[in-house]
Amino acid sequence: MVKKLVSVLLIACIVTTAFAACGKKAGKDPSGQLIIGSTTEIGGDFVPFFQNGAADYDIYKMIEGNETVEITNAGEFVVNKTAVKEYKTEVNADGSKTYTYTINKGLVFNDGSEIKAVDYVTTAMLWSSKVVGDMGADNSLVGKYFKGWADFAQGKSKVFTGVRLLDDYTFSVTIDAQYIPYFYELGLTQLGPTKLNFWLDDQVTIKDDGEGCYFSDNFTKEAYEAKINAARGAIPRVSSGPYNLKEFDESTKTAILEANPNYKGNHDGQKAQIKTLIYKKVVTETQMDELRTGSVDLLNGLSSGNEINAGLDLVDAGGFSYTAYDRAGYGKLQLIADFGPTQFIEVRHAIAYLLDRNDFAKAFTGGFGSVVNGPYGVAMWMYKESKDDLDEKLNQYPYSLEKAIEVLENGGWIYDKDGNPYKEGIRYKKLDDGTLMPLILEWASSEQNPVSELLVVKLQNNPDVAAAGMQINQTVMTFTELLNYLYRDGSQDPKYAVPTYNMFNLATNFPVMYDQSSQYTIDPVLFETGANDNWIKDEELAKLASEMVLTDPTDRNGFKDKFVKFIERWNYLLPDVPLYSNIYHDFYNDKLKNYNINALFDLPYALLYAYVEE
């Protein structure tokens, strides 16, 4: 969820499809070790339903597998024949569509226990349940589009009608009629197995009497909240992917993974070829020294010009290689729209006018990136095909103190602290209850972050910010704590549930399935779970986000047109101030071979095909 970005304007996306080398190695036992360095720290929450930063999500994708549907290196959804014996589809009388999957016998978890249909059903049931929703999880990520999800997720029905357990090796999921057509239809049916007794115990069961799946009555928040929270970071853990998570050191933010001998391969039959992966936290200032000295072997997703130029110098010296690829995402100043000054659109606009984004992008990316004006990365096909249209329609928010003052005055920020007409100092706005709100923004930033350091210079300490009557206060914290505040995760500490910060500097990468309907939802239940972490309620934005994906999978032009309309509305509301989209560079020791990463086929996928030549 929170990574870095890319620019197609400067370099073509490097997508290598020649996997012949890994084909010769795939049948051999895994060997060698690779140390991966990441400036994003591991938080220790190894599922994406609560709070899961980029490093945690990388590990999640490395240890989970056997999904019904997987992604190819070209970014296409395919049925995973290693896990799926056969499947069929049926359009029902009510307009819904059912996918029935029969899985292959002989699939096993890493503990040796057999994977059955109930384990796939468990994924949809557990992570859609009201129990985890009430715990603060986003319970819309797996089953939101299945028939009966809303009633099941809200506890109005104990039966999830869109999920059926048909026999030991067969299950089905039914996409609700309101989501047909859906542009990424096959991707909606992507389910992997989950071991129920790892998260709960043997006392909880899932049954199907013919109307849909349901939990036994003993599955309650009171009985299992502590067990689920403990399992989020538990090691050892039951999983089914190419790697097993063996260790996690909280103090050094280092995880050790080992190849899973029980994994039968992905849709290509590809198994892990590197025996041991060590995923560790590095800091920007010393990461190249660590690569040069062998403390790390791979630096993934470098985005700043200083980092990239230092890496290119290392490559020129010999012994190291790099891969450059356009990014499907963007760096951003994320604004919170339900409290404080940033709840007002004029303040969000003023922030954009007070930051010279072209100068910022150039300074940070060193020419390996550019400004974007919405939630997209320049590697994404729909942006590429609509760039000229977007350039014409979108507000570029050019740097302008005068424009910032104008929008603030239009928004009612025209008073001083005593309620007199504003002349100097901090501006105030008179609220409906008669109280005065100061134009003071609280900013949460992660430690040892070069983007944060540049924002201090280019925004916080910019004299024009003070001249506009605005004050920005920075609080530096760990990335994990920042996510707690962003998601208002009161399960970690009640203080995090209290809205505290108006803005966060982050970055986001988008998956193949570009679906923004949850991110900008106004549904009360989803909103309370933090699915919409801008906390912005705009009916039109929510409608456009939903309509975008409700497009026939063959209608690329229709999807693209809806994408443009969505981006136009987003650009006006400005839930984030987009900072840059850039060219990712991965630098690595020459011993790493066949490492073919791109914006959609990211680190966990690329490493599966790579090997180490000692």
Query: Which tens digit of pLDDT belongs to each residue from 548-595?
Result: 999 999 999 999 999 999 999 999 999 999 999 999 999 999 999 999
Of all helices (H) and strands (E), which one includes residue 168? none
Give domain status of residue 9, yes or no.
no
Task: Output the CA–CA distances (angstroms, integers) from residue 128 to 160, 163, 170, 231, 520, in the order listed.
Answer: 9, 11, 20, 17, 19
| Mean pLDDT, residues 202-220 taken together | 98
In the chain, the percentage of residues whose pLDDT exceeds 70 is: 96
Q: Which helix (H) or strand (E) holds 171?
A: strand 170-175
What pLDDT does 17 receive? 32
Is 221 a member of any domain? yes
The 10s digit of each residue's pLDDT in 44-77 is 999 999 877 889 999 999 999 999 999 999 999 9
- Answer yes or no: is pLDDT of 23 > 80: no
Quote the CA–CA distance of 177 and 170 in Å, as a whole number: 22
How far is 514 from 517, CA to CA, in rounded Å?
9
Per-residue pLDDT, 5: 28
Mean of pLDDT values over 306-322: 97
Query: Are residues 99 and 217 located together in one domain of the fold?
Result: yes
E strands, 489-559, are 503-509
The Cα 603–Cα 598 span in angstroms is 8
Q: What is the pLDDT of residue 204?
A: 98
Q: Which two tokens stand for residue 442?
A: 């609280």
Instruction: Fill in the amino acid letter for 239.
Output: S
22-31, 337-346, 493-502, range with the lowest pLDDT: 22-31
Question: What are 588's strand-pairing partners?
Answer: 298, 321
**Token pair listed for 384:** 């590429």
Half-sphere exposure (CA, 13 Å, Cβ side) for 80? Answer: 24
pTM of the model: 0.90
Q: Are 156 and 129 in contact (CB under 8 A)?
A: no
In a domain, 4, yes or no: no
Nearest one of 586, 608, 591 to 39, comparing CA atoms: 586
Within a 10 A sphere around the Cβ of 275, how many other Cβ atoms?
16
Q: What is the CATH number of the domain that holds 450?
A: 3.10.105.10
Those residues whose C-beta lies under 8 Å from the C-beta of residue 525, and which sit 6 or more positions away, are 133, 150, 153, 154
Question: What are the tokens at 542?
Answer: 């929510």
For residue 385, is it within any domain?
A: yes
Crossing angle of helices 556-573 and 539-549, in 10° steps, is: 160
Is there a domain that residue 576 lies in? no
DSSP assignment of 321-359, as one string? EEEEEE-SEEEEEEE--SSSGGGSHHHHHHHHHTS-HHH
Please state, as a whole number, how many other Cβ atoms lie within 10 Å of the Cβ of residue 205: 14
> 557 and 495: one domain?
no
Q: How confident is the model at residue 223 (pLDDT cuts 50, 70, 90)?
A: very high
Residue 280's contacts (CB-CB under 8 Å, 6 or more residues apart) are 35, 36, 37, 38, 252, 253, 254, 255, 296
pLDDT-derived band at 489 (thresholds 50, 70, 90) equals confident
List the structure tokens of 140: 């819309």
pLDDT of residue 387: 96
Q: Using an 8 Å Cβ cutoff, are 139 and 67 in contact?
A: no
pLDDT of residue 27: 55
Is the pLDDT at 538 greater than 50? The verdict is yes
pLDDT digits (tens, 9 = 90+) for 165-187: 999 999 999 999 999 999 999 99
Q: Do 72 and 139 share a domain, yes or no?
A: yes
Q: Are residues 504 and 537 in the same domain?
A: no
Alpha carbon distance 43, 281 (integer Å): 11
pLDDT at residue number 614: 82
Q: What is the pLDDT of residue 18?
A: 34
Q: How many CB atoms lie within 10 A of CB 415?
A: 18
Within a domain: residue 35?
A: no
The domain of 546 spans 356-398+514-571
The CA-atom distances, in angstroms, between 509 and each of 222, 459, 584, 599 are 36, 24, 11, 8
- 332 with 377, same domain: the answer is no
Residue 20: pLDDT band (50, 70, 90) is: very low
Average pLDDT of the chain is: 94
Q: Which of 208, 240, 272 is the last residue of a domain?
A: 240
Tens-place pLDDT, residues 397-428: 999 999 999 999 999 999 999 999 999 999 99
- Inside any domain, residue 16: no
Mark whether 380 and 430 lie in a shared domain: no
Instruction: Average the pLDDT over 23-49 and give the result.
Output: 85
**Would you give the DSSP letter of residue 423?**
-
Domain-ending residue, one of 240, 265, 293? 240
Q: State residue 528's pLDDT score.
A: 83
CATH code where residue 224 lies: 3.90.76.10
pLDDT at 1 over 60: no
Do both 337 and 475 map to the same domain?
A: yes
* 209 CB-near residues (< 8 Å, 6+ apart): none
Local structure of 462: helix, strand or coil: coil
Instruction: Give the β-pairing of 576-589 and 159-160.
Output: unpaired
pLDDT of residue 391: 95
Q: What is the pLDDT of residue 154?
A: 95
Say how many C-beta atoms besides its own lie within 10 A of residue 93's C-beta: 6
448 and 523 co-located in one domain: no
230 and 171, same structural domain? Answer: yes
**pLDDT on residue 12:** 31
**Into how many domains does the chain fold?**
3
DSSP strands (E only) in 471-572 = 471-477, 503-509
Assess whether 213 and 137 both reside in one domain.
yes
Same domain, 142 and 184: yes
Whole-angstrom distance, CA of residue 180 vs CA of residue 237: 36
| pLDDT per residue as tens digits for the range 189-202 | 999 999 999 999 99
- Note the helical H segments in 488-534: 524-529
Whether 104 and 197 map to the same domain: the answer is yes
**220 within some domain:** yes
Which of 458, 479, 510 corresponds to the end of one domain?
A: 510
- 83-142 pLDDT, tens digit per residue, is 999 999 999 999 999 999 999 999 999 999 999 999 999 999 999 999 999 998 989 999
Q: Could you give the dihedral angle defined by the CA atoms of residues 568, 574, 577 and 581, in that order, rounded to the nearest 10 degrees?
A: -20
Q: What are the two backbone dihedrals, phi and then psi, of residue 564, each rounded to the nearest 5 degrees?
A: -65, -45
Residue range 347-393, pLDDT digits in tens = 999 999 999 999 999 999 999 999 999 999 989 999 999 999 999 99
**DSSP-based three-state secondary structure for 187:** helix
Mean pLDDT to the nearest integer, 13-32: 51
